[in-house]
Structures are given as structure tokens and as C-alpha cells.
């Protein structure tokens, strides 16, 4: 009777040992999948922002705004430079 219990215990331990590696691998894969999904979400948000900026830069208003920041003036306009004391 003791031998059966000992063999049953050994069998249970061996079976448990056989399941440890696949379970660890599965958990690791789940963690990597979660990380990849978070990276994908961040990349999609960045792409959306960049596409919005690209579309904005294609407008006349954006072109004029950019030209003004570089101190360009339209023909016929008089540029003024203000110097603070």
C-alpha cells in the first residue's frame, strides 16, 4: 500500500513538473503579447498625430503661419523689427 502511494506521489510530481515549463512559456508569451499591444496602440496614436500634422501642413493657413515664423512678408507689406531696450 505504501509503495502505491509513493508511486502515485512520484507520478503526480512528475506530471506537475511536465506542466511547469509550458505554463511558464504561455505566461511569458501572454506578457510579450500585452507589451506588443501597448506598443501598437502607442504607434497608432503617434501615426494619427503625424497624419494630422501632415494634413495641416498642406493647408494655405499652415503655410502662411510657417512663413510668418520665419519672418517672411507678402509683396507690398512692410516688415517692422521691434527692438526692446
84 domain-assigned: no
Number of domains in the chain: 1
C-alpha 37/C-alpha 49 separation (Å) is 18
How far are the Cα atoms of 7, 28, 36, 37, 52 from residue 46, in angstroms, in the given order? 59, 27, 15, 14, 10
Whether 65 is covered by a domain: the verdict is yes
When pLDDT is cut at 50, 70 and 90, the band that residue 82 belongs to is confident
Higher local confidence (pLDDT), 40 or 54: 40
C-alpha of 84 from chain center: 45
In a domain, 64, yes or no: yes
Residue 83 maps to a domain: no
CA gap 85, 32 in Å, rounded = 60
Would you say residue 63 lies in a domain? yes
Any domain includes 13: no
Domain around 56 = 39-70
pLDDT at 6: 85
Higher pLDDT, 54 or 48: 48
CA angle 32, 38, 39 (to 5 degrees): 90
How many Å apart are CA 42 and CA 51, to the nearest integer? Answer: 14
Amino acid at each position: 500500500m505504501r509503495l502505491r502511494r509513493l508511486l502515485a506521489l512520484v507520478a503526480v510530481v512528475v506530471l506537475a513538473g511536465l506542466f511547469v515549463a509550458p505554463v511558464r512559456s504561455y505566461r511569458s508569451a501572454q506578457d510579450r503579447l500585452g507589451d506588443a499591444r501597448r506598443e501598437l496602440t502607442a504607434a497608432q496614436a503617434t501615426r494619427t498625430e503625424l497624419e494630422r500634422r501632415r494634413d495641416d501642413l498642406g493647408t494655405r493657413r499652415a503655410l502662411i503661419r510657417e512663413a510668418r515664423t520665419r519672418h517672411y512678408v507678402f509683396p507690398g507689406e512692410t516688415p517692422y523689427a521691434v527692438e526692446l531696450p
